[in-house]
Structure formats: structure tokens, C-alpha cells
Chain A
Amino acid sequence: MFRHRYRRRQIANLSEKIVKVAFVGNPNVGKSALINALSGSNLKVGNWPGVTVEKKEANIIINNQMFSLVDLPGAYSLNPFSLEEKITRDFLIKERPDVIVNVVDSNQLEKSLFLTFALSEFEIPMVIALNFFDEMIKNKTEIDIKKLRDILSIEVVPTSGIKGIGIDELKKAIYKSVSERDLPNILFEEKLDKRFKRIKEILSDKKEKLGYPLSFVAARILENDQQVISELNDKKLLDKGILELAVDNTTYIESRYKLISSICKKILVRHKDSNEITQKIDSILLNKFFGLPLFFIMMFIVFKLTFDLSKPFVDFTSYFINDYVGKYTIYLLWFLPDILKSLIKEAIIGGVGSVISFFPLIGVFFLFISILEESGYMTRAAFLIDKLMSSIGLSGKVFIPLILGFGCNVPAIYATRGLDSQKDRLLAGLMIPLMSCSARLPVYLLFTAAFFENFKELVILCLYFLGAFIAIILVILLQLAVPSLKMDSTPFILELPPYRIPPLKFLLKLTGFRVKSFVRKAGSVILFTMILVWSVNSLPYNAPSGESYLAQGSKAISFIFAPAGFDKWEAVATLLPSVVAKEAVIGTLGQILEGEQGNSNTAKDSEEYNFLSDTSKVAVRFKDSFIEAASNLLNFFTIQSFQEKEKDEGLINRLKTLFTPLSALSFMIFILLFVPCIVTISVLIQEYGIKWTIFEICMLLFISYSVSTLVYQAGKLFVH
């Protein structure tokens, strides 16, 4: 209470204006960890509007002043090459932050200073955070901080976001640079400096009309940046003579590098090659012979751990929500009519449950992905596999999301965020739904058990390959058809950052934020679909399963599927529920087939309510899921997901009346290629927008229908 009041007073004393602080740096310099260390628990993770680039923000208070910290995407320069760099540059120009914190990797000062110099042209007060300073000391390198400060005329603070070093000093420096508003020196070699000053002089009377900071414009003219020059020419702001002062951009960059290396000679002493450890690890992990096998082992481990560790908890959560929370919510709502109870239990609680049951999966997954990313291995993986992926016009990094898609499409689509180009991101996102996820496996298992008992592994394997094969064809065709996705639009330049051990606390926190954002965004779409599917499936209420709206609709449209071989309405009726979750195909089939035999009186009404014993059951299951996860870890090399559940002979026999082996194959192919589940769809919307999602859905409808028709018709030629 007291603390609360204190906090209110503190906020009341704040000046009205919120100071905007932009964090800018090369990729892999530890910006996020630094913001995290500065902000404590206030970090927010979201997306930049309209794109799948992650945006991290936090508000902090220093000396009664509110500061809003924004983590700008990593950039090597501000002459935008990638989407990330464009976002960063646009932010600096349009939002005009009050301070720039330039985060620099102390171990790679030469490279980092190039960006620092580019930032100085924006005429914004600046602070340099020499990050990974502790590592630098370990590497026996010395930087003369005072000299660097004098040369650039800005505050330079040694920090380590991971270890929490220099955080208070950085806060003070930020505060100081806001109040004193000192601008950084803009440095050039002598010859260029004269030209730069002259250009500035000429432009100075048009300063207000430029739309950019004066020094920024002067520097762009100096390096002959055609884009900015033509923009100013259109506004008739350039005198003819001014362009004679320009040099070409090669000269400009070379001169900058010369200046940087001469500065580094003055302030930097290296007693040891800081790359030594990284190079040793690389000589194993990137080895000509072991590199690829190690990569596949690593992928296998991540894949197995993600799905084996999370599966018991996923099962537990869905049991907890549906069989415990759902059951007792209905019990407490005894006064409602049955139809509403069914709606609440099956659609609403079921929908919430299906979102929540993804928590453990996405949590474990994000944790592993961030470990791969933050440790520096992810870019190595891309390096190793790049050649394979480049043959279909993608970068090596795309391989990882695609592989994850075989486990679950949802985290796989999230993994595309780590890709470097918007093109790779989109194409990977469109490919992933064709990767046969583990929820489709039970459907294959049931159908192969019924129709292909003797060679079911082969059939299942072929299905997996078919999905991947179609995805590859699709990507090649899309690149041919859509001009903006042409093959050579992204030259593959990859930095291989030094290996680092990422701080667990930071990883966990980031994971937490990402899971939260999944819930917020996925929730509404899923709920809507659940209610829709419930309505068609359960209405008119208490009708036998052959007369629900779903059944009536299926009967009406089942003729459409005759060319693909499965025009029985019972099969068609599973398609809509399969959008809720792929494995729902089995449940729906079971329900319908049982219903037809007239024994639909399931245990529904005879449910027992014993709160205590049910609660203890939940506790036991919770404990069991830990044990199961642990035993999954121990039985690492057994293939869990292929283990069959007990066979439902009755269902299998009834299936044989509905399908022939050929139409069963065609049906499995259809389920493989059909519209992905609703959680995947909602994540697609979240990451790529509604337009691309609709495009993907239409395309999948077309592909699934035509491929299964093709298989069925071709098969018929052989069977006859």
C-alpha cells in the first residue's frame, strides 16, 4: 500500500514528456539483453507494425523522468539493405528519438565503429555502450575509453547486459546526454571533411526544408547516394554546383574504414586473438567431415527434446482444462439449459484449452530456439546446409523451421521470424503447413492399420515425403510467378558471431513474453472457429449424428469429392473438424460411425462429481507428466511418436465399409495437404497478415483436391 502510494507520487512528479531512447547496434551485440537488464521486469515484446520483425520496448524511470527504450533491429549500416535496416533508419528519421544508445561489441570495435559513424550523421545525442566488456577483458584486449570519448565527444560506458555490469552508469549517461544534448562529432579524413563542411554550408539556408537532418543530407550527397539526391532534386533543393563536391561511395566507405583503423590503432591494444575459442569450436562444428553429421544430430536433439519434453505437459493441460475445469464449470452452471452447457464446455472451454495446451510446446520450443540463436549456432547451421536450400532459391536458415514443421506447424512458423529476408520468411511460412505435423500421424496410423497393415511404415514415410516434395515445387513455382519473390533478390551474406553462453534468466524471460503474445493474438480466431464448428456439429440440438447441420452439409457437398474417391458423407464430415485439430478426424469418424449403429448413449449423463478425488487425480497426473517427460529424456532414442495406441478394432472394421485402400490413400493425402489447423492459421495471420493466409488456404484447398484426385484416378487405372 505504502509502496503503491509512493510510486504514484513518483509518477506524478514526472515531467510530461517521455524521452525516447533508441538502441541501435550490429546484430548479435547483445542489445536485447542490455535493455532487459536496464528495464527489469518492464520489457514488452511485440512486432513492428506490418512486418514479422520483433520489437522490444520498455519504459523506465531515471531521476523522475520517464524514458521509453526501443530496441531497433540489428543493422550493419543505415543504407538499408535488409528490412531490419530499413526499419531502423526510418525510425531514426521519422521518430527522431531523443537519444541513441549505440551498443557496440567491445571485441569487434573496428566493425562496430562503422555504424557508430553512420549514426553520428543523424544529429541526435548519443551514448556508446561498450558491451561484452567483461569478455573483452578476458580476451586480454584493452580499449582506451577516455580517448574514445574525446575523439567522438560522447559518453562511452563499458557494459555487460548478460552480467548486469555498467547498468547504473549507462542510465546516468543516458540521463546526462538528454540534459546536455551534446551531439557526437562527425568524423571524416581531412580531404572528405573539407567537402563535407562545404556541402553543409551550401545547404544550411535550406535546412528546414530538407526533411532530414542537415549532416545526414550532406553525408549522402558526399557519398553520391542517388536515392536521397534524386529525392532532393525533385523538391528542387539542390544547386547544380553541390554535386561536384560528391565522391563515389566506394571512396567514401574506404575512407571511413581508413579513419576507423587509424583510430583503433590509437585506442585499442590486443594481446590475444579474441577469435581463438570461436575458431576452435568452429573447426569441429564446421568441419568438412563432422560438420553435417553434427548438425543433423543437433537438429534431432532439438526436435526430440521439444516434442518429447512438452508432450506430457500438453496432454496434462488439455486433460486439466477439458476434464477438470470444464467438468466443474458445467457443474456450477447446472441451472443453464443443456445446449448452453454444451456450448460452454465444448466450444469455449475447449477452445481456451486448445490454446493453453500449446503453452508447454511453444515454451519449450522457444527456449531451444533462443539457445540456438543466442549461442551463435543458428548461423552455423545455415552455413552448413545453405547449398541444399540455395538450389530452391532459399537461404540455409530456412531449413530449421521446415524441419520443426514435422513436429508442429505452429512453432515452426514462429521460427521463421529468425530468417534474414522477408522473402525467406514468407516462403518458409507458406511451405510449413505442407510439412506433415505430428497431429496428422494418428490419422495415418488409423488408416494404414485398416488398409495397409503390411507396409504401413512405407506408406507413412511416402506421405511425409509427398508433403515436403509439394512444398518444394510450390516454392519454385511461387518464385517464378511472383516477381517480388524472384530467386536472386537476397544475396546470402551471413555473419558468424562469436560463440556465447546465453544467460538462462534472459532466455526464460524472452520465452515467457513470446508465449504470452501467442495467447493474446491466437485466442480470438480459435475461439470463433470452435464456436462455429460446435454449432454445425451439435445443432439442431439432440439430433442424431446423421442429422446435424454438419452431416446435412456434408451430404449435400459430398459429390464434390467423388473424383478423389471419398464421396461418403461420413468422410467429408471430418474435414471441418480437422481444421480445429487434425487428430479430430478420428474422433469425428468414431462419433459418426457409432451414432449410426444406434449406441450414441455415451457416458455423458452418468458423470460423477467428486471434487476431492478429481482434484487429487489432477495432482497425480501433473506429477506423472513430469515423470513421463523425464522418462522421455531417458528413453531418448526410442521413437515416441510412432508408438501406437491400442487399436480400435471396431472402428477399423467400420472404416473398411467406407473406404477402399485406394480411396483411403487418397483421403490420407487429402488430410496431409488440406487447410492446416486453426492454431496454425491464426499464427499465419499473426505473422504474414490476412491476405497471405487466405492465399495459402485457397492454394492448399486446390492442391489437396487436385493431388488426391490425381492419385485416385491414376490408382484406378492400375487397380482395374
Chain B
Amino acid sequence: MVLNKALKNKKYRVIDIKLDEKLARRLQELGIVKGGKIHMIRKAPLGDPIHICVNGQNISLRNSVCSGIVIEEDK
């Protein structure tokens, strides 16, 4: 599934990043890398953007970006 579908307060693992190179690179630099963990924290009150936690760092991403981040639940 993609990051938009992530549920509040659950942890996920990144499987793939399907975005243009520059954007993908930026996300990787922020620690959103294949195999890395993402903690979905909340959606903004208006539904976009979302608030995630990566490596102890709080990041906000728009849904348009999230739809390019493929994840699976982290067990």
C-alpha cells in the first residue's frame, strides 16, 4: 500500500519510493529510505498533509508525495 493509506499511530516499513529523482533524493536524505521505518502520527485536520515520524524527526508530507511512497506494516 502507499503512505496515504497508513493508519494513525501505526508503524510501517518503506518498500519503495516511486517519485521523480530529485524528490526521492530529498526524502532519502531525510531518512525515508527503502527498509527504513515510518511512524504515521496523524493527518492534518483538513485531511492533507500528513504528519510522520522518521528517525525521531517529525516531518509533514503532502498526500501527493505520499502516494509515491510504498509501505508495508512493520511487525
Contact = CB atoms under 8 A, between A and B. Distances in A.
The dominant DSSP class at the B interface is mixed
Given A253-B29, A254-B34, A274-B56, A492 B49 contact: yes
A257 interface: yes
Interface residues of A, number: 43
A278 to B, nearest CB: 7
Interface string B1-42: 000000000000000000001111111111101111000011
Contacts of B45: 286-289, 291-292, 384
Given A110-B55, A383-B60, A288 B42 contact: yes
Interface string A73-85: 0001101010000
A450 to B, nearest CB: 42
Contacts of A497: 58
Given A250-B34, A254-B35, A383-B49, A81 B55 contact: no
A716 interface: no
Nearest to B42: A286
A388 interface: yes
A387 B27 contact: no
Contacts of B33: 250, 253-254, 257
Interface in A372-401: 379, 382-388, 390
A249 interface: yes
Contacts of B59: 493-496
Interface string A491-506: 1111111100000000
Nearest to A395: B62
A111 interface: yes
Interface in A111-129: 111, 114
B5 to A, nearest CB: 18
A386 B49 contact: yes
A386 B26 contact: no
Interface in A260-276: 273-275
A387 B47 contact: yes
A230 interface: no
B65 to A, nearest CB: 6
Nearest to A270: B56
B31 A111 contact: yes
Nearest to B52: A496
B29 A495 contact: no
A660 interface: no
A543 to B, nearest CB: 60
Contacts of A41: none
B14 to A, nearest CB: 11
B73 interface: no
A76 B30 contact: yes
B24 to A, nearest CB: 7
A496 B22 CA distance: 21
B70 interface: no
- A273, A383, A497: which has the most chain B beta carbons within 10 Å? A383
A249 B25 contact: yes
Interface in A230-285: 249-250, 253-254, 257, 273-275, 278-279, 282
B56 A387 contact: no
Interface in A350-386: 379, 382-386
A347 B45 CA distance: 51
A379 B60 contact: yes
Contacts of B43: 288
A108 interface: yes
Interface string A288-299: 110110000000
A486 to B, nearest CB: 14
Nearest to B34: A254
Contacts of A107: 56
A431 to B, nearest CB: 21
B25 A111 contact: no
A141 B43 CA distance: 29
A619 to B, nearest CB: 50
Contacts of A496: 51, 58-60
A275 B58 contact: yes
B31 A386 contact: no
A288 B49 CA distance: 12
A198 B49 CA distance: 44
B48 A386 contact: yes
A512 B29 CA distance: 36
Contacts of B47: 387
Given A257-B31, A492-B62, A76 B44 contact: no
A76 B26 CA distance: 8
Contacts of A249: 21, 25, 28
Contacts of A493: 26-27, 30, 59-61, 65
B49 A108 contact: no
A287 B41 CA distance: 11
Contact of B48 (A77, A279, A282, A387): A387
Contacts of B49: 383, 386-387, 492, 494
Contacts of B29: 76-77, 79, 114, 253
Contacts of A291: 44-45
Nearest to B43: A288
Contacts of B58: 275, 278, 282, 495-498
A253 B28 contact: yes
B60 A494 contact: yes
B30 A111 contact: yes
B16 to A, nearest CB: 10
A386 B62 contact: yes
A386 B57 contact: no
Contacts of A114: 29, 31
Nearest to A257: B33
A661 B65 CA distance: 51
Nearest to A494: B60
15 contacts: A108-B55, A108-B56, A111-B55, A114-B29, A250-B24, A254-B33, A257-B31, A383-B51, A386-B44, A388-B46, A492-B65, A493-B65, A495-B57, A495-B59, A496-B51
The 6 closest A-B pairs by CB, nearest first: A496-B58, A387-B46, A494-B60, A253-B28, A77-B29, A387-B48
Interface of A: 76-77, 79, 81, 107-108, 110-111, 114, 249-250, 253-254, 257, 273-275, 278-279, 282, 286-289, 291-292, 379, 382-388, 390, 491-498
Given A253-B25, A492-B49, A496-B59, 6 more contacts: A114-B29, A282-B51, A288-B45, A385-B46, A491-B23, A492-B65
